[in-house]
Amino acid sequence: MSETEQQQEWTPIHGEPYRSVPYRPARMPEAESLAHAAELRERMRERRTVRQFAPDPVPAQVVRDAIACAATAPSGAHQQPWTFVLVQDPEVRRRIREAAEHEERVSYDGRLGEEWLAALRPLGTDEVKPHLTDAPALIVVFQQRYWLGEDGTKHKHYYVDESVGIAVGMLLSALHLSGLAALIHTPSPMRFLSQVLGRPENEKAFAVIPVGYPAPDCQVPDLVRKSLDQVLVEV
């Protein structure tokens, strides 16, 4: 982030003329670039989705910094259509767990359908969601489907799913690289999150991300990632 960006307060740029500032980052020497890329690849390979958390607190500033990283994501028309709600209050986490487990019970009892349940079997998930109260922090990500002008006019946001998806990817990377474990949890339907957290009508819940340290006896499913050859096509 440039100094200009840090000093200026955000205001909507909708309909403003194009303005530009110079961008001249120092070019990284190739050897350094290769070393960073290889190290990052290895560190990202070590990330696992965690569902069993230790109750130990996490440094809240690490989570805030990770959210700040996520909020640097590119977005459709630079509309930054996201809100991150950091929940540490145990009573609010308890209410989120109760409502999520209610929805999940219906899902696992048949709403998902046999094909979906079969796809989930190797992950070992079920309707019991202890991570929502065991993890010391939850980040509830909302997507802003539109923004409300001061006069109450609704302005459309563009590529909201893509923008928020990119930001969440950056958030998961930042949390992992800062030493914290996380889970992307998508109870469905998620409307209860707007009610519990009192979010406005232009916001729709996107995911709940429990954050913490893995429990001492944490287990993760024995999964294999696709190799680079299987995901990369070079033309």
Report the distance separating Cα 141 and Cα 144, nearest Å.
Answer: 10
- The residue at minimum Cβ distance from ligand IYR is 125
Q: Is 51 in the site for ligand IYR (CB under 6 A)?
A: no
Stretch that binds ligand IYR, among 32-40, 182-190, 209-217, 218-226 (CB under 6 A): 182-190
Place of tokens 């893995």: 214
- Closest contact distance (angstroms) between CB of 108 and ligand IYR is 7
Task: Enumerate residues 6+ apart whose C-beta is below 8 A from 122.
Answer: 221, 223
Q: Where are the alpha helices (DSSP H) in 55-204?
A: 60-70, 90-106, 114-120, 131-134, 160-177, 191-197
Amino acid at 214: P
Stretch that binds ligand IYR, among 54-62, 74-82, 185-193, 210-218 (CB under 6 A): 185-193
* Binders in 66-95 for ligand IYR, by CB under 6 A: none
Which of 33, 72, 186, 195 touches ligand IYR (CB under 6 A)? 186
* Binders in 90-119 for ligand IYR, by CB under 6 A: 104, 107
Report the distance separating Cα 157 and Cα 78, nearest Å.
Answer: 9
Q: Is 219 in the site for ligand IYR (CB under 6 A)?
A: no
- Kindly report the CA angle at 57 between 173 and 104, in degrees rounded to 5? 70
In the chain, the DSSP E strands lie at: 82-87, 137-144, 146-148, 154-156, 181-182, 203-212
Q: Is 131 in the site for ligand IYR (CB under 6 A)?
A: no
Q: Is 120 in the site for ligand IYR (CB under 6 A)?
A: yes
The distance of Cα 68 from the centroid of its chain, to the nearest Å, equals 12
Stretch that binds ligand IYR, among 27-35, 135-143, 161-169, 181-189 (CB under 6 A): 181-189
Q: Is 134 in the site for ligand IYR (CB under 6 A)?
A: no
Nearer to ligand IYR, 108 or 147 (CB): 108
Count residues near ligand IYR (CB under 6 A): 9
Report the distance separating Cα 46 and Cα 28, nearest Å.
Answer: 25
Which residues are near ligand IYR by CB under 6 A?
Answer: 104, 107, 120, 123, 125, 185-188
